[in-house]
Amino acid sequence: MFSFIKMLQNFLRNLKKNKGLWFTTLSVISILGISFSMYILMTMTQNVSKEVYITMSETYETSLKNRINKKEENFKKLVASIYANNNILTAMEQNNINAVESIVNTYNENFLKAGFNELSMKFYPSSNQINQYRNSINSVITNKTKVFGVEVLNDGIFVILVEPILKDDNLIGVVEIKESIHTLKAEFEKDNSIFVFLLDEKMMGKLSLKAKTGKYRDVVNEYKVEEKKYDGNFFGKLISNGKEGFKKLEDKGYLVDDTYYKTYKKISDINGATIGLAILGEQVEGSGAFVNIVDKMTKTVTTVALGLVISILLFMF
């Protein structure tokens, strides 16, 4: 070990005698050191950026879940108001359909007056033949348990609660409360975020001709969007990115371009079948956009670290 150190010292001493070779060697070592340090720094900052984008994707997913759960809470409050209304309970118990529908219509009129244009209530009497109803309604009648989730119906895609109305453990009817899934767009906009729902083409058959004719546009990979409901610039980027860009979105869980940050969440219906995608994101423009904040932070860290690396290398030699 001592001999090796002595040999290294002799080598450096002889090297210093040759000024040209000495400075060339220092330059090469410096360049290699800076290059290696920059590689490490760039890799680290890229990994940090990636982690931030993944975290934001998870944040958006949580936000979507919370907003849908909030709808369930609000729907339950409407159900509670039904239990507090003796008139409608008596009418249900007596199977007085006209009286029940009159009260339900009043609810729907009040929704419209309050500006909830996409919110509605409907009553299903349990005394009728259950094969008159769709599966989700029949399931609630049979099992006396609520159903909540997303469902593609004849007139659109809805977040829906189907609640059994019980009296002394006897089923006296079923109430359906539903609100268009597209209302989530306005809720995300309050946080300067973007929401777009893409419907899987295989679910188009469940929509009536009136609900789908001339309204849906192809996006990518068999997904369609109800064009007039959303900002064309946002889903237009998905179209322009094509299948390759969409695959990157699916593989990474997010996609960042010069205009938008995008992430996605698969949407399943009340039966567990995937019916489409929620595309979530925000604009890159603006100093408050988190993409710009991440970019500025990584650039600042890289610049400062590079300065330190150069200073250390110069000091060493």
Q: What is the CATH number of the domain that holds 155?
A: 3.30.450.20
The verdict on residue 186 lying in a domain is no
135 and 209, same structural domain? no
Q: Which tens digits make up the pLDDT trace of 262-298?
A: 999 999 999 899 999 999 988 877 544 545 555 555 5
**Together in a domain, 198 and 229:** yes
Residue 77 lies in a domain: no
Q: Is residue 295 part of a domain?
A: yes
Burial track 86-112 (b if 16+ CB lie within 10 A, e otherwise): eebbebbeeeeeeebeebbeebeeebe
- Of 79, 169, 177, 164, which is closest to residue 126 (Cα–Cα)? 164
CA 72 to each of CA 83, 106, 160, 274: distance values in angstroms, whole numbers, following the listed order: 17, 21, 8, 20
Same-domain status, 234 and 300: no
- Same structural domain for residues 113 and 148? yes
Alpha-helix runs per DSSP H in the chain: 2-17, 19-83, 86-93, 97-113, 135-143, 184-189, 209-212, 232-252, 290-316
Q: In what order do the strands lie in the sheet with 119-124?
A: 119-124, 170-180, 156-167, 147-153
Q: Is residue 74 part of a domain?
A: no
Q: Are residues 201 and 270 in the same domain?
A: yes
pLDDT classification of 130: cutoffs 50, 70, 90: low
Is residue 112 situated within a structural domain? yes
Domain that holds residue 237: 191-283
pLDDT higher than threshold 90 for residue 206 = yes
Residue 217 lies in a domain: yes
| Residue corresponding to tokens 């709808």 | 71
Whole-number average pLDDT of the chain:
82
Q: Give CA–CA dist 88/228, Å, rounded.
A: 38
Specify the length of the chain in residues.
317
Residue 203 shares a structural domain with residue 278:
yes
pTM of this structure:
0.76
Considering the domain architecture, whether residues 149 and 126 belong to the same structural domain is answered as: yes
Examine residue 124 and state whether it is found in any structural domain, yes or no: yes
Q: What are phi and psi of 151, to 5 degrees?
A: -145, 140
Q: How many domains does the chain have?
A: 3
